[in-house]
Structure formats: structure tokens, C-alpha cells
Amino acid sequence: MRRELLIAFTAFFFMSLSALTGVYAVEEKAKIETLLTKQVDVTGDAKKDTIYLRGNPYEDGSLFLKEIYLDIAATDGKTYKINLEGGYEPAIHFIDLNNDEVKDIFIGIPTGDSGGISNYFLYTLKDSSVTDLTPPEPLVIESQFKDGYQASLTIQETGQSYSFDLSDRGKDYERMGLYLNGKLNEPSELMVLPYGTLKPVKVSGNKYGLKGIQRLSGVFNADSIAYVKSTWFFEKGKWILQDVSVEKIVPSKNQ
């Protein structure tokens, strides 16, 4: 009798566990949200494929998506899933960026960091094959403060150098301990941020490339000093730097 009761109890336990697992699976699946649905030819067969941009919120009501991915249903019956990184409010563009006359998939996902940083992804599905085109890396920038409330930067890719007169921030820098009577207390670098913006732009005729904007800050993130803008063109399987410009940021009176 005891053996029969034990068998019955064990069976009931596993049935309950299975039921609970099923409930949690349904709840987890229910969290997946379809953020966008588009019909665009991304394989080059002149037929519109269906692209779903989906996300899984960190928790109910959260704006942060811990998982973001693409589900693609091609017209030839094949399906694809492309996993992306988590973040907030992803934006997607369908545009030919590698100049093969087939639209690519370009996605930007804000990270939510105080620096306004986003992660970017670029894929082509030409001929029903997923290829990661990987957007260009941010410029490598060397920078430093100098005596007399000065600063300089050098862009490694081009060798270009720029100088900045930061005398209008001198009092603040003295108060923060960066300078003493105009002399730098110790060697200090500027804060060089990754792309805050990377977006498609026309580069040559009707051909598109990408334009990125990086921000340089001083002693804290909001101490913005300059924007470094770079333009890129995809050619022969790689990103080619086309142009670089630097724009000094004049601090507001309230800063």
C-alpha cells in the first residue's frame, strides 16, 4: 500500500512540475513583442520578404529589451533568425550600403548609457545567405589636456591633429583640480566616446555610405568639447574612410 501511495505521489509531483514548466514557458513566450513588421526584398529575387523585429522586455512594463532579434521569412520558404544585442527602441533601415543593388538591413540600438551610445548592426541576405557586414569601427583618437587650459587630439587613421583653447572653462577646471594656476596637475586624457550616431548618407551619386559622430568630453561626460565626424564607403569588401571633420562645441552659458 505504501509503495502504491509513493508511486502515485511521485506521478502527481512530476505532472505538477510539468504543468508549472508549461505555464512559465507560455509566460516567457508571451513577453516576446513584435516591434515592427516590414515587407522588403532583401534577398535580391525581386520578391518582398517579411522581416519581423522582435524584443523581449527585461520585465513587464520595462522599456529595456534584454533580447532583440530579427525573424526573416524569405519568399523561397527559408527562415532566418539574427540575434542582436539588448537595448532601447531599436531603429531599422533597409538600404543598399554595400553597393550590390540589394537592400541591406541596418539596425541601431541605443544602450541607454549617459553618453548617448548606440550599438549598430548591418546584414545582407543577398542570394538567401546571411552575411554580417559589420559597420565601421569608431575612429581611434588620441587626446590630452595641456597647460594653459589647452587640449589636443590626433586621429590615428589620418594623422590629423587639432588643438582646442578651453580657457572659457578654466575656472571650472581649476575648481575641479584639473589645473592649478593654469598648469596641469597631472597628465590627463579627454574622454573619447564611441559613435553616438551612425546613419546612412549619400556618399557618391546615388550610392550610400555611413556617417558617424563621436563626442569628446573633458573631465566629465557632459563637459562636451568636440564632435568628430567620419564618413565611410563600403568598397571591395571593406569600409573605406572618405572624410573626417572636427567641430568644437561651445559650452552654453548655463553649463
What's the Cα-to-Cα distance from 236 to each of 42, 99, 106, 122, 202, rounded to whole Å?
A: 20, 10, 19, 16, 18
DSSP state of 46: S
100 residue type, one letter? D
Mean pLDDT of 175-201: 96
Q: What is the pLDDT of residue 9?
A: 43
- CATH 2.40.128 residue window(s) in the chain: 32-132
The model carries a pTM of 0.83
pLDDT tens, residue by residue, 43-77: 999 999 999 999 999 888 788 999 999 999 999 99
Question: Is domain 32-132 given the CATH code 3.90.700 in the classification?
Answer: no
- Return the CA Rg of the chain: 26
pLDDT tens, residue by residue, 84-138: 999 999 999 999 999 999 999 999 999 988 778 899 999 999 998 999 999 999 9
CA neighbor of 169 nearest in space, from 238, 250, 240 = 250
pLDDT tens, residue by residue, 14-28: 444 444 444 444 344
3-state DSSP helix/strand/coil percent for the chain, to nearest 5? 15, 50, 35
